[in-house]
Amino acid sequence: MTERSCLAIILAAGEGTRMKSAVPKVLHKVGGMPMLGHVLEAATKAGARRLAVVIGPGAEAVSAYVKSAAPQAAVHVQAERLGTAHAVLAASSSITDSLKTGEADVIVLYGDTPLVTAETIGKIAKGLATSDVIFPGFRPADPSGYGRLIVDGRRVIAIREERDASPEERKIGTCWPGIAGFRGSSLLGMLKKVGKENARREYYLTQLVEIANRDGLSVGTLELDADEVAGVNSRQQLAHVEGIFQRRAREAAMAEGATLVAPKTVWFSYDTRLGRDVVVEPNVFFGPGVTVDNDVTIRANTYIEGTHIASGAIVGPFARLRPGTTIGKGAHIGNFVEAKNAQIEARAKVNHLAYVGDASVGAATNVGAGSITANYDGFDKHRTEIGANVSIGSNAVLVAPVIIGDGANVAAGSVITANVPADALAVARGRQENKAGWAKKYREHKGLVRNRKETKSS
């Protein structure tokens, strides 16, 4: 009995010249994650048992990314960039390995088509039960740059690259999205027949359509949603794809029960999670790693990354929460407050112009306006631990490492360099002295001096 397995081969060796970038194209980010990561995730979710990524020579950054994002994936190097069919051949050892246990479905995906979903990959794999080869189509608003699908009735007979297409063929609105399905048993044989009789003198994967037809194989197709398979070759297309990603993320957040007062002004990352009855005011940016529990209000112009916010908290307006931060239940983070690697417990308040970095703030503690933790000594970072029910007066500097015990008070304007015991008052500033009548005398003296100057100069 033979088993069917699924191998996803992701092509990521292109130079991406049209991006005009020092960063490899597939590492450009959509929703805060490299495009290649989106494709790896979709293939994994679709149940691909093996993953293979084809990278270019010297693409250390890409191979390092694959190792961290999908350590189970095989990485193949395409020594020379001779085209997309040549790139798939670079992964031939993964194809042969997959065939060892029976028939292997091979799904080829392009690393520059990041919004493809697991459902679509699943549909293509399913289609391989009845067709030998599947080349889907889609109808982009602007087909320029894409290979055109040439059909005869329901049969796909060829894919013509824009550069090789006749003016008539260029009018075809159905294009190939850069995703295809093959049976592993026939793929390698077909790939070896690909020539480079085209405008770019490259081995095109799209030529497999004609080869499959010639070999008497059945070539199936299905239509995909244009937004899902938009490809990225330029910065303009990157922005277009980012726009689609954001629109979907906003819709999903609202469908899950969050209120976005002005959805178009809220920016999400691939892993942002908002709970129910979360209210997000305009102009909020969620960087990677943000989870927000139910009933949280995030007020306008707030920037959050790497942070967990527990239920009932209020954040912003104009707050900045940086990685490693947790905000406890019902805590308040106010305007112009920055927190980094800070654990702020339930009902604590840090409401105005404060910096809390590498610190913990206990439950129901209040950090006054303008207070900061001085966590950096020019060489190392140090922690500040503030207990529960503490009151830190305005404009205090807590010089880390330092511990403020539960229930303590720190006087406004203090520079705290030593631990403060629980329930103590710490005052660390010059003592105030009032000099009776001094100001009046000073004014009179200044008046005399000025009169003398005026008489001299007249």
Q: Which residues are catalytic?
A: 352
Q: Which one of ligand UD1, Mg ion, none is in contact with 333 (Cβ closer than 5 to 8 A by kind)? A: none
Of 233 and 395, CB closest to Mg ion = 233
Cβ-based nearer residue to ligand UD1, 78 or 341: 78
Which uninterrupted H or E stretch holds 156? strand 155-160
From ligand UD1, Mg ion, none, interface partner of 390 (C-beta below 5 to 8 A by class)? none
SS3 133: strand
In angstroms, give the least distance from the CB of 412 to ligand UD1: 59
CB of 23 to ligand UD1, least distance (A): 13
Measured distance CA(334)–CA(259) in Å, rounded? 20
What does 111 interact with, of Mg ion, ligand UD1, none (CB < 5 to 8 A by kind)? Answer: ligand UD1
Query: Should residue 82 be labelled a site residue for ligand UD1 when binding is judged by CB under 6 A?
Result: yes
Shortest distance, position 234 Cβ to Mg ion, whole Å: 9
- Of the candidates 394, 375, 310, the one whose C-alpha atom is nearest the C-alpha of residue 345 is 310
If one asks whether residue 136 binds ligand UD1 (CB under 6 A), the answer comes out as no
Structure tokens at 366: 């209040």
Helices (H), ranges, 74-194: 84-90, 92-99, 118-127, 167-170, 184-191
> From CA 329, how far away is CA 112, in angstroms rounded?
41
286 binds, among Mg ion, ligand UD1, none (CB under 5 to 8 A by kind): none
**φ/ψ of residue 441, rounded to 5:** -60, -40
By the 8 A CB rule, do 260 and 241 touch?
A: no
> Could you give the string, one character per residue 156-195, with x where binding to ligand UD1 holds by CB under 6 A and - elsewhere?
---x-x-------------xxxx-----------------
Minimum distance of ligand UD1 from residue 140's CB (angstroms): 9
User: Site residues (CB under 5 A) for Mg ion?
Assistant: 112, 231, 233
Q: Which of 8, 87, 104, 386 binds ligand UD1 (CB under 6 A)?
A: 87
Cβ-based neighbours of 201, under 8 Å, separated by 6 or more: none
By C-beta, is 233 or 246 nearer to Mg ion? 233
Q: Which amino acid is at 343?
A: Q
| Closer CB to Mg ion, 110 or 268, in the complex | 110
How far, in Å, are 16, 65, 148, 281, 348 from residue 326 at the CA level? 39, 27, 50, 20, 12
Whether residue 172 contacts residue 152, with contact meaning beta carbons closer than 8 Å, is answered with no
Judged by CB under 6 A, does residue 110 bind ligand UD1?
A: yes
Minimum CB–partner distance for residue 383 and ligand UD1 (Å): 45
Q: How far apart are CA 366 and CA 407, in angstroms?
A: 11
**By the 8 A CB rule, do 416 and 396 touch?**
yes
Q: Which residues bind ligand UD1 (CB under 6 A)?
A: 11-14, 54, 78, 81-84, 86-87, 110-113, 146-147, 159, 161, 175-178, 204-206, 231, 233
